[in-house]
Amino acid sequence: MKKYQNIILLFLVVVLTALPLWMVKTPEPGPDGKEVEIFTGADGQAKDLVGTIAPDYKPWFKPLMEPPSGEIESLLFALQAALGAGFIAYYLGVSVTRTKMRKAQEQGKKC
């Protein structure tokens, strides 16, 4: 069980992530004929909610720099994830090798 624990856990994460894609269906276009978008960001929805609760509120500051397109935005997000994943993988790689060498050394001494 312990041996397969990580594989099972990762599988569960994949299921948890994929399930909504399959469960949530695009609703019919509203009376105004607009397509309803699904899987938009919660942050953006909160922004819209502020608009309904306080319609008079005007944001008083604009982002200094906005990604020029959705592509550039996903580039930066991918970069962020890649940097993080790269570092974790490097560290685990070092640790695995070190554990192996430690074991090899201990066995070498016994012989």
Partner 1 sequence: MHIMEGFLPVTHAIGWSLASAPFVGYGLYVIKKRIREKPEQRMLLGVAAAFTFVLSALKMPSVTGSCSHPTGTGLGAVLFSPGAMAPIGAVVLLFQALLLAHGGLTTLGANIFSMAVVGPFAATLVYRLARGIKLPFSFAVFLAASLADLLTYVTTAGQLAFAFPDPVGGFAVSFAKFCGVFAVTQIPLAISEGLLTVVVFNALTRYNARELQDMNVLTGQEVRA
Summarize as ranges the residues that interact with partner 1 (CB under 8 A): 5-6, 9-10, 12-13, 16-17, 19-21, 23-24, 38-47, 49-50, 53-54, 57, 59-67, 73, 76-78, 80-81, 83-88, 91-92, 94-96, 98-99
- Token pair listed for 109: 């001494």
What SS3 state is found at 30? coil
- Token pair listed for 91: 């560290």
By beta-carbon proximity to partner 1, the closer residue of 32 and 66 is 66
Indicate the DSSP class of residue 4: G
Taking the chain, what is the end-to-end CA distance rounded to the nearest angstrom?
33
- The least CB distance from residue 30 to partner 1, in Å, is 15
By beta-carbon proximity to partner 1, the closer residue of 33 and 41 is 41
- Token pair listed for 85: 């994943």
